[in-house]
Structure formats: structure tokens, C-alpha cells
């Protein structure tokens, strides 16, 4: 069936070409008008080339050859211009010949369609080439380090160590402080390392850090702006399904909207959070009201407080919020407090020290470093 379709397609093309030639040969008006247009757009260069070669005039050969070479560049509109000139001459000399005019218009439309298709194909080829280049960059053979879990430690490490890939399963660049609504009860000392100082300065410029206090609910967009400027290689919404030890390092299998793929690395650092027994809530208070609750820290904005609630047993976020409303609902209503945000997961507050497991994978708890700048600086200076 495919062969028969191909034969029909070729036959159709041959017939169309033959028909055009017959029309041209049997129609003197067409030959005259089309010939005049062709002489203007093409023919003069062939004549000039012939005369130049016959008389040995170099400039004629140079000009004609250059123009003819230009005509063979894909997308050159000389054919369209030839048909437009032919139509002009036909209307000028033979205004009543509608039949020939129709043939010329049909040929002009066909040539325009052909040029449009060529332009579309060029754009497609450029897009495909750009996409393949991007995919190849992401599928490089070996990374020096793969970090499981985004955050300030991870971005700080990538800032100072080239060829690092960060894989984060959520859509947050900062799941450790912004994602958990972590409050800070102390002023920050400006860090000394280059990258952390740059981060500190960008937060001050964006208004996220003011008078030594951080706007917790603005940490994510501020970190994303910093990432945009420093451009570490980071994949959000990507799940690590397996880390396999090899002779040269590790093979890390990850899954995201591009599918499943394996990246190789010499080093793996795991900063992912573990589920815990604490939840943080952001409270909005009426003017002058106090929530009369334990573990309440001031927020960046007036009229807001960060409330840390601890549980004796494990539970998920929805169950934790339900318990809080059952136990503290009346007290919150009395002081006019409203819960306007909660951490997206239960928090492990044990904050263990960095350690190396049996596979040689480093486990790092970012929250142990106390604040975003200390975590970034620790990652930047990590050996």
C-alpha cells in the first residue's frame, strides 16, 4: 500500500510539472510575460555570466556568480517575484486574458505556499535542535555531585561546586524554611563567605530581610530570584526512586514529567526531610491581642505570629490541624486569632548531625544550621 501511494504521489507531481510546461509552450502570452519577469529576476545574471566568461571580464563573472549562488539559498523569494512581474506584464499588455492570468495566480499561490512551508520547517528544525541540546545538557554522562532535596544548603553547595545537580520532589526550592514556616527568634549575623554574603545582600535588597528579621512567607520567591541569577542546575517535581552504588560512584534513578532516567555521579548528598511530630502555623491577630499560647515567635509583619505545636505521637498534617482546632479552637476565637497558613508537612525537630551512611551517602539536615544563611554558608564551604 505504501509503495502504491508513493507511485501515485510521484505520478501526480510529474503530471503537474508536465502540464505546466505544456501550458507555457502553447501559450505565447504566458511565455512572453513570464519570460520578461524571469529576465529581470534571473536571466540577466546568466547572460552576464556568459558574456563575462566569453570576454574574460572578471567583475562580470564575480557579480553573476554571487547572485546565482544567492538564488539557490532556500527561501529566496525570486520565484514569487517572477510570478508577480509576469502578472503585472500580462495585465499591462493583455488585460483581457483571464485564462492566462488565472494560471499565473495559481502558480504564484503554489509558490507562496511552498515558501511558507519551508519557513515552518526551518523553525521546526531550530526548535528540535534547541530541545535536543537542552536534553543532552541534562543527560550529561557524569555529575560530580547529586543532591537529593533542594534548599539553602543545596543551592550553597551548587554555588561553590560546579557540575552539581539538585533533585527536589516538591515544587519548592526552599522546603526546609519556607515550606515549614520556620520562625526565627534571633537576629542574623551577616555571613562571611562570598555566596552567603551575596544571598544576604539580595534578601536585603528585596526587602525580605529587614532589621535583622526574615519574612518567612517570602523566602521562596526570594530564593527563586537568587537561583535565577546564579543558575544552579535544579530539577523541581522530580522523585528519586533509586540510588545504586557502582564502581565509579552512583547511579541515581529519577522520575519527573520528562519520564524516567538515570544520572551518574561520584557523590550523593541527601538533604530530604523526614516526617516528625511538629507543625508550624502562621496566625493573624487583632490589634493588641495576645494568643496566650506557648512556643509563639514574632513574625516579620505586625499582627502575625508563628506558632509551633508539638505532638506526642505521629500524625499527618490534616489530623494535626483537626486536633489543634479541637483543643485550641475556643482560645483562638477568644483572642481573635486566625490560622492563615500551615507547614506543608509534619516536621522532624531532632535535627541530627551530618553523617555518612553505609553506602557513602552523606545525610545532611538543613534545619540543624538554624537559618537560611548559615545553611547556605555550610553548603558553600562543604568539602
Bridge pairing between strands 259-270 and 142-148: parallel
Distances (CA, A) of 336 to 291, 293, 379: 8, 13, 42
Detail the DSSP E strand segments found in 76-205: 142-148, 164-168
Copy the grid coordinates of residue 295.
512556643
So what's the pLDDT on residue 78? 77
How far, in Å, CA of 97 to CA of 311, rounded?
A: 93
Element (H, E) at 241: strand 239-245
Burial bucket for residue 209 (CB in 10 Å: 0-12, 13-18, 19+): buried
Q: Which residue, 193, 188, 185, is CA-closest to 203? A: 188
So what's the pLDDT on residue 188? 67
Mean pLDDT value across residues 192-201: 91
Non-local CB neighbours of 358 within 8 Å, separated by 6+ positions:
none
φ, ψ dihedrals at 83, nearest 5°: -65, -35
Copy the grid coordinates of residue 5.
501511494
Copy the grid coordinates of residue 264.
551518574
So what's the pLDDT on residue 222? 92
Q: Which residue, 167, 377, 195, is CA-closest to 272? A: 167
Q: Which residue, 65, 39, 67, is CA-closest to 52? A: 65
- State yes or no: pLDDT of 9 exceeds 70: no
- pLDDT category at 21 given cuts 50, 70, 90 is low
- State yes or no: pLDDT of 58 exceeds 80: yes
Bridge pairing between strands 164-168 and 233-236: parallel
Copy the grid coordinates of residue 127.
526548535
Q: What is the pLDDT of residues 60-113, one digit of tens each?
A: 888 888 888 887 776 677 777 887 787 788 777 877 777 667 776 777 777 777
Q: What is the pLDDT of residues 107-161, one digit of tens each?
A: 777 777 777 787 888 888 888 887 777 666 555 568 999 999 999 999 999 999 9
How far, in Å, CA of 248 to CA of 216, rounded?
A: 41
- State yes or no: pLDDT of 268 exceeds 90: yes
Beta bridge partners, 165, equal 146, 233
So what's the pLDDT on residue 315? 86
In the chain, the domains with their CATH numbers are 14-135 (no CATH), 143-274+351-380 (3.50.50.60), 278-342 (no CATH)
Amino acid at each position: 500500500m505504501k509503495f502504491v501511494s508513493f507511485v501515485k504521489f510521484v505520478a501526480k507531481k510529474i503530471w503537474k510539472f508536465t502540464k505546466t510546461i505544456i501550458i507555457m509552450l502553447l501559450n505565447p502570452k504566458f511565455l512572453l510575460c513570464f519570460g520578461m519577469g524571469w529576465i529581470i529576476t534571473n536571466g540577466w545574471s546568466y547572460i552576464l555570466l556568459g558574456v563575462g566568461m566569453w570576454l574574460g571580464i572578471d567583475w562580470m563573472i564575480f557579480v553573476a556568480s554571487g547572485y546565482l549562488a544567492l538564488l539557490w539559498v532556500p527561501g529566496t523569494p525570486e520565484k514569487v517575484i517572477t510570478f508577480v512581474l509576469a502578472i503585472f506584464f500580462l495585465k499591462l499588455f493583455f488585460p483581457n486574458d483571464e485564462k492566462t492570468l488565472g494560471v499565473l495566480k495559481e502558480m504564484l499561490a503554489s509558490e507562496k505556499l511552498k515558501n511558507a512551508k519551508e519557513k515552518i520547517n526551518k523553525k521546526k528544525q531550530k526548535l528540535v535542535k534547541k530541545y535536543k541540546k537542552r536534553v543532552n545538557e541534562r543527560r550529561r554522562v557524569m555529575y560530580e555531585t547529586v543532591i537529593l532535596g533542594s534548599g539553602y544548603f543545596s543551592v550553597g553547595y551548587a554555588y561553590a561546586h560546579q557540575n552539581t545537580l539538585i533533585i527536589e520532589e516538591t515544587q519548592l526550592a526552599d522546603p526546609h524554611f519556607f515550606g515549614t514556616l520556620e520562625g526565627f527568634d534571633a537576629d542574623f549575623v551577616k555571613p562571611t563567605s562570598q555566596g552567603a554574603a551575596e544571598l544576604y545582600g539580595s534578601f536585603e535588597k528585596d526587602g525580605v530581610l529587614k532589621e535583622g528579621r526574615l519574612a518567612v512567607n517570602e523566602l521562596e520567591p526570594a530564593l527563586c530570584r537568587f537561583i535565577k541569577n546564579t543558575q544552579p542546575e535544579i530539577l523541581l517535581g522530580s522523585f528519586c526512586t533509586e540510588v545504586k552504588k557502582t564502581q565509579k560512584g552512583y547511579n541515581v534513578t529519577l522520575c519527573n514529567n520528562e519520564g524516567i532516567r538515570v544520572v551518574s555521579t561520584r557523590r550523593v548528598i541527601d538533604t530530604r526531610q523526614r516526617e516528625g511530630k511538629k507543625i508550624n502555623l502562621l496566625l493573624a491577630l487583632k490589634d493588641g491581642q495576645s494568643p496566650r499560647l506557648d512556643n509563639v515567635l514574632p513574625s516579620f509583619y505586625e499582627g502575625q505570629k508563628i506558632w509551633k505545636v508539638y505532638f506526642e505521637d505521629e500524625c499527618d498534617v490534616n489530623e494535626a490541624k483537626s486536633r489543634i482546632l479541637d483543643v485550641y479552637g475556643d482560645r483562638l476565637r477568644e483572642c481573635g486569632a486566625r490560622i492563615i497558613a500551615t507547614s506543608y508537612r509534619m516536621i522532624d525537630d531532632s535535627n541530627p548531625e551530618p553523617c555518612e551512611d553505609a553506602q557513602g551517602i552523606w545525610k545532611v539536615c538543613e534545619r540543624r544550621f538554624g537559618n537560611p544563611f548559615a545553611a547556605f554558608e555550610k553548603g558553600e564551604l562543604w568539602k
